[in-house]
Amino acid sequence: MRLLFDQNLSHRLVAALDDLFPGSQHVRLLGMAEADDLPIWEYAKANGFVIVTHDSDYADWNKLRGAPPKIVWLRCGNTSTAQIEAKLRQAADRIHLLSDPDLGIEVLEIL
């Protein structure tokens, strides 16, 4: 499973979580740091990424448009990159459940 971190998260998460989510990307590393949400959504959809974000916008879009892409919504507020990495590591098994189509999970909230 590949994650696409949005601009409100550190690009350092890509390397920090490579052992659990190889092939992940950050919008900044893709030249999309200033992109609006729709191009990021379309990129994730076209390239098989799960979007990781603090913003509710993507979860709202998922309600309207459905998946893909699926969303990991970090509802923990602004915290350090190390704390976000720890939360994603703790939730790794749940995040990987997004790849199981039988479960029907489209948005995973992490507190």
Q: Can you give the pLDDT at residue 11?
A: 97
pLDDT of residue 66: 80
Report the b/e string of 46-85 with b at 16+ CB within 10 A: eeebbbbbbbebbbebbeeeebbbbbbbbeeeeeeeeebb
CA-derived radius of gyration, the chain: 13
Q: Say what the pTM is.
A: 0.96
The pLDDT value recorded for residue 61 is: 84
Predicted local distance difference test score (pLDDT) of residue 70: 96
Strand positions, DSSP E, the chain:
2-5, 25-26, 49-53, 71-74, 107-110
Instruction: Give yes or no for a contact between 70 and 98, defined as CB atoms under 8 angstroms apart.
Output: yes
Domain count, the chain: 1
Instruction: Tell me the backbone φ, ψ of residue 50, rounded to 5 degrees.
Output: -100, 125
Residue ranges of the chain with per-residue pLDDT less than 50: none
Whole-number pLDDT of residue 71: 96
Domain that holds residue 73: 2-110
